[in-house]
């Protein structure tokens, strides 16, 4: 066991690593409650409002593989620190924005910072705890809980900030956190060594632009029509770019994503589960927040506070329940059952009424969905990371984070298109809004159910540890 692994300070280091994961995921959701105010002040339409989310996650997901590669080549701690600097710059830009374009640029820069932070944080976790097989599952559980907890807590914090300060502070909150992380990293995290190798910038750009084009086409389709040549033209360009990315990876001597890594048992299956988990979970909180504000007429703070029970359940289930169940029943059983529970909770939400109540229409269904998310997330994450060779830790962490973020972006884009087509764009009409949001929840439920079936078929039976 290394000196770093044996040091009691490793748990403080884990807190910093988990904080990083908490923040980069929180930044996907903290804008949720602030969206109506941003829409009024910056001029977003109901249809393109999702780009405040997508601008972040598209860049985040598209550059994650590059972030993982840089972490392996330059040293995880160095890339970790650089990511915080970039994230802070993007947060400042998004906060001072007074028009749509500047806001989206700031969100994109935030996403680039997150793409450096997330894979380097996971690599640092493996460096600190990898030599201690007893502590590693606990570290993974704590780290895993930080992601969905950050996503749900972001909604509450966004409500608190929007209600009692103003929407730009949902971005400014990152600045002191970045300063803390930059100050603490040299003392708590191992330096790591740099090594020689090439960086596939073309591959990173191809993947990011291809993903952005796909999301753009899906989000814009309800406005211009699915049959419009522009829709299919952009989708064709996206498919060509993403196909080109795979072709580049197959030909390069040092690719951004060696396709051979997917030969590892369970790596592809676990990443598919993460991708579809993001595609089901993110639309849930996005439209649940809009239902609370635009149908039930909650103001910003009560809307955020309404999701606190989900946050508490996720934290408890991920840290105390999921590791024990995974050790007893194995990762596959937990992933499949968690996805089924998530699908059931989403279906329950789809039954909400225009004159519904929080106690009847939101609380029980959201708790069931949160429990399903908690049970599926940690074992699928750990299975994906554990499937790769140790020297491919940065790559594997980049791939699994990429899968979740790509799933989030594409899932939200597709579900938003369906929701708008069913009435979600008709602000001021609670009945039509509820019909649109119900369609969104039902679509997300079908994604989660499909994910459960695929996980049952593709995952080999193995324990998460």
Q: 200-249, pLDDT tens digit by residue?
A: 788 888 888 888 888 778 777 767 777 888 889 999 999 999 999 889 88
Using the predicted structure, report yes or no on whether residue 264 has a pLDDT greater than 60. Answer: yes
DSSP state of 423: I
Higher pLDDT, 60 or 450: 450
**How far is CA 276 from each of CA 114, 256, 280, 399, 404, rounded to the nearest angstrom?**
21, 23, 6, 14, 7
Residue 296 CB neighbour total at 10 angstroms = 21
> Per the structure block, which two tokens stand in for 299?
């103001």
Tell me the average pLDDT across 321-339.
88
DSSP state of 146: H
Q: Where are the domains of the chain?
A: 3-191+256-458, 200-255
Using the predicted structure, report yes or no on whether residue 401 has a pLDDT greater than 60. Answer: yes
Identify the pLDDT of residue 83: 96
In sequence order, the 6+-apart residues with CB closer than 8 A to the CB of 325 are 334, 375
Using pLDDT thresholds of 50, 70 and 90, give the confidence band for residue 252.
confident
Using pLDDT thresholds of 50, 70 and 90, give the confidence band for residue 168.
very high
Identify the pLDDT of residue 464: 41
Higher pLDDT, 241 or 315: 241
> Per the structure block, which two tokens stand in for 33?
């409650």
Identify the pLDDT of residue 406: 81
Using pLDDT thresholds of 50, 70 and 90, give the confidence band for residue 388.
low
Tell me the average pLDDT across 179-183.
96
Identify the pLDDT of residue 46: 65
**How far is CA 315 from each of CA 80, 346, 448, rounded to the nearest angstrom?**
25, 20, 21
Percent of the chain residues past pLDDT 70, beyond the cut? 92
Locus of tokens 């600190």: 128
Locus of tokens 């932070």: 117
Residue 343 CA to residue 247 CA, distance in Å, equals 35
Identify the pLDDT of residue 338: 95
Residue 127 CA to residue 14 CA, distance in Å, equals 11
> Per the structure block, which two tokens stand in for 381?
């994450």
Percent of the chain residues past pLDDT 90, beyond the cut? 34
Residue 153 CB neighbour total at 10 angstroms = 24
Higher pLDDT, 384 or 439: 439
Tell me the average pLDDT across 34-40.
84
Residue 212 CB neighbour total at 10 angstroms = 21
Higher pLDDT, 193 or 37: 37
| DSSP code string of 21-63 | HHHHHHHHHTTTTTHHHHHHHH---TTGGGHHHHHHHHHHHHH
- Mean pLDDT (the chain, rounded): 85
Higher pLDDT, 115 or 137: 115
Identify the pLDDT of residue 82: 96
Identify the pLDDT of residue 2: 45
Higher pLDDT, 271 or 174: 174
Using pLDDT thresholds of 50, 70 and 90, give the confidence band for residue 445.
very high
Q: Which of 29, 10, 36, 28 is CA-nearest to residue 297?
A: 36
Q: Each residue of 282-309: pLDDT tens digit?
A: 889 889 988 998 899 988 788 878 888 8
* pTM for this prediction: 0.78
Using the predicted structure, report yes or no on whether residue 259 has a pLDDT greater than 80. Answer: no
Residue 440 CB neighbour total at 10 angstroms = 30
Q: Each residue of 347-380: pLDDT tens digit?
A: 999 999 999 899 999 999 999 999 999 899 888 8
Higher pLDDT, 204 or 437: 437
CATH superfamily of 3-191+256-458: MFS general substrate transporter like domains (1.20.1250.20)
Q: Each residue of 406-425: pLDDT tens digit?
A: 888 788 888 988 898 888 87
In sequence order, the 6+-apart residues with CB closer than 8 A to the CB of 343 are 280, 372, 445, 446, 448, 449, 452
Identify the pLDDT of residue 3: 44
Most confident of 90-94, 155-159, 288-292: 90-94
Using the predicted structure, report yes or no on whether residue 344 has a pLDDT greater than 60. Answer: yes
Using the predicted structure, report yes or no on whether residue 449 has a pLDDT greater than 70. Answer: yes
> Per the structure block, which two tokens stand in for 247?
């072709």
Using the predicted structure, report yes or no on whether residue 5 has a pLDDT greater than 50. Answer: no
Identify the pLDDT of residue 1: 41
Identify the pLDDT of residue 334: 92
């Amino acid at each position: 066991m290394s000196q770093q692994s044996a040091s009691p300070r490793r748990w403080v280091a884990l807190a910093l690593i988990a904080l990083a994961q908490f923040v980069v995921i929180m930044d996907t959701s903290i804008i949720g409650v602030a969206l109506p105010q941003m829409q009024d002040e910056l001029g977003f339409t109901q249809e393109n409002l999702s780009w405040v989310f997508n601008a972040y996650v598209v860049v985040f997901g598209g550059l994650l593989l590059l972030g993982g590669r840089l972490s392996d080549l330059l040293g995880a701690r160095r890339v970790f620190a650089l990511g915080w600097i970039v994230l802070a710059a993007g947060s400042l830009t998004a906060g001072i924005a007074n028009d749509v374009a500047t806001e989206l640029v700031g969100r994109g820069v935030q996403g680039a910072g997150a793409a450096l932070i997330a894979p380097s944080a996971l690599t640092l976790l493996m460096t600190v705890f990898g030599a201690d097989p007893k502590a590693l599952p606990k570290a993974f559980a704590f780290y895993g809980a930080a992601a969905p907890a950050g996503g749900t807590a972001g909604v509450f914090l966004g409500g608190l900030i929007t209600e009692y300060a103003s929407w730009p502070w949902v971005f400014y909150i990152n600045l002191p956190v970045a300063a803390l992380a930059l100050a603490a990293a040299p003392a708590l995290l191992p330096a790591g060594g740099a090594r020689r190798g090439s960086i596939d910038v073309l591959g990173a750009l191809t993947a990011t632009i291809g993903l952005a084009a796909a999301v753009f086409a899906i989000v814009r389709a309800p406005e211009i029509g699915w049959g419009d040549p522009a829709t299919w033209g952009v989708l064709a360009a996206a498919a060509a770019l993403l196909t080109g990315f795979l072709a580049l990876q197959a030909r390069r001597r040092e690719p951004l994503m060696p396709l051979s890594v997917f030969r590892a048992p369970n790596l592809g299956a676990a990443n598919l589960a993460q991708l579809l988990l993001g595609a089901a979970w993110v639309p849930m909180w996005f439209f649940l927040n809009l239902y609370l504000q635009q149908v039930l007429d909650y103001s910003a703070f009560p809307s955020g506070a309404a999701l606190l029970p989900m946050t508490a359940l996720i934290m408890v289930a991920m840290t105390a329940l999921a590791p024990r169940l995974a050790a007893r029943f194995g990762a596959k059983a937990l992933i499949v059952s968690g996805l089924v529970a998530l699908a059931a909770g989403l279906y329950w939400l789809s039954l909400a009424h225009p004159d519904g109540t929080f106690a009847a229409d939101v609380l029980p269904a959201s708790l069931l969905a949160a429990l399903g998310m908690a049970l599926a997330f940690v074992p699928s994450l750990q299975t994906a990371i554990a499937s790769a060779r140790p020297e491919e830790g940065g790559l594997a962490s980049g791939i699994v984070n990429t899968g979740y973020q790509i799933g989030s972006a594409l899932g939200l884009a597709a579900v938003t298109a369906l929701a708008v087509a069913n009435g979600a764009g008709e602000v001021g009409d609670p009945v039509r809004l509820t019909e649109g949001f119900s369609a969104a929840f039902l679509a997300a439920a079908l994604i989660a159910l499909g994910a459960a079936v695929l996980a049952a078929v593709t995952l080999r039976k193995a324990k998460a540890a």
